[in-house]
Amino acid sequence: MTFTRRLQQAIEEKNNPTVMGLDPKPEYVPSFLIEEGMTDGEKIFAFNRHLIDAAKDLIPAVKPQLAYYEALGLDGIKAFHETIRYAKEKGLIVIVDGKRNDIGSTADQYATAYLTDTGFAAYADALTVNPYLGSDGIKPFLEAAAANGKGLFVLVRTSNPSAIDLLDLELKDGRAFYEAVADLVKAWGEPFVGDDGYSPLGAVIGATWPEQADALRMRLPQTFVLVPGYGAQGGSAEDAARLFDKEGKGAIVNASRSLMLAWQKANADSPDAFAEATHMAIVKMRDDLNQALTMAGKKRV
């Protein structure tokens, strides 16, 4: 089955278009999980495991952000591998957030690392990539994704304030730069569109740009959208809802800190309280998103 079909199916089974970001820091880990002599990597894996256990019946996917694991060296990379294996065992879709990019021969190596079925790549379902290098930096990723039933999300409009520095530059032909990127993403993905209407080449579009969202969604009819920027970064459920298609499909919204740190807000430093606090934060986000989709006339009934 194609990646987008698997992803959409998982979203519908859980009735929740939420992906939980796993961007752990050692200081995020509640004390009930910390044992004498644990390394930082062991701490964050224990944290991720409890987050996954609390979330697995409610969400379709997780998105570990590689930077947080790389920051802890080998110990962190080991925690990353254990995390994606564990998430996969629990039936979750794994979107690796690495924003990788390079020339063709090197992009090929990154594709081997995250989009094949060998080694730890087998536990990853999709990878985020940066389009700066143009088509020959995307092609190896896209071919590997298509061949192995996996997916990609290309940065089109990131959620951060300074995204405008480059993305909003106005082109001579009247388009904004990010619109030119979107047009390339559409063209690159076109030959790979599956019978569900989506290509394996998705897009990252932040929930923090509601004014651009409707036009971008129309510009990318065959593109699954990964939506960061919800919650801590300021994007609302209404903002995120704009990036779904008319049937309320084709997008998944990320939340990291608001779910990972729900236990802190609730002062829930025990196994049951941790699970309960995480659970409640996910249910709230799910209901907010579904309500916003209904209000926008996009909800599947």
The one among 77, 266, 273, 275 contacting its own copies by CB under 8 A: 77
- 122 is a contact residue toward its own copies (CB under 8 A): no
Minimum distance of its own copies from residue 297's CB (angstroms): 31
Whose structure tokens read 């920051």? 71
**Do residues 242 and 296 touch, judged by C-beta distance below 8 A?**
yes
The one among 47, 68, 224, 274 contacting its own copies by CB under 8 A: 68
Task: Closer to its own copies by CB, 106 or 291: give it.
Answer: 106
Task: Closer to its own copies by CB, 182 or 293: give it.
Answer: 182
The one among 10, 20, 87, 107 contacting its own copies by CB under 8 A: 107
- 70 is a contact residue toward its own copies (CB under 8 A): yes
User: Where does this chain touch its own copies (CB under 8 A) — which range of 167-175, 247-255, 260-268, 269-277?
Assistant: 167-175
CA distance 43 to 140: 35
The one among 158, 212, 222, 254 contacting its own copies by CB under 8 A: 158
- 159 is a contact residue toward its own copies (CB under 8 A): yes
Catalytic residues: 99
The one among 160, 214, 234, 284 contacting its own copies by CB under 8 A: 160
Q: Which two tokens stand for residue 245?
A: 């298609």
Using alpha carbons, list the distances in angstroms from residue 201 to 8, 76, 154, 255, 277. Answer: 14, 28, 7, 21, 35
- 184 is a contact residue toward its own copies (CB under 8 A): yes
In eight-state DSSP terms, residue 197 is S
The one among 147, 171, 215, 295 contacting its own copies by CB under 8 A: 171
Residue from 154, 70, 69, 60 nearest 107 by CA: 154
Task: Closer to its own copies by CB, 12 or 108: give it.
Answer: 108
**Do residues 204 and 157 touch, judged by C-beta distance below 8 A?**
yes
Cα 159 to its chain centre, rounded Å, is 12
**Do residues 299 and 290 touch, judged by C-beta distance below 8 A?**
yes
Minimum distance of its own copies from residue 97's CB (angstroms): 8
CA distance 164 to 185: 19
The one among 73, 91, 221, 234 contacting its own copies by CB under 8 A: 73
CA distance 69 to 71: 5
* Max CA distance (Å), the chain: 62
- 183 is a contact residue toward its own copies (CB under 8 A): no
User: Where does this chain touch its own copies (CB under 8 A) — which range of 87-95, 129-137, 272-280, 281-289?
Assistant: 129-137
Residue from 89, 84, 158, 90 nearest 125 by CA: 84
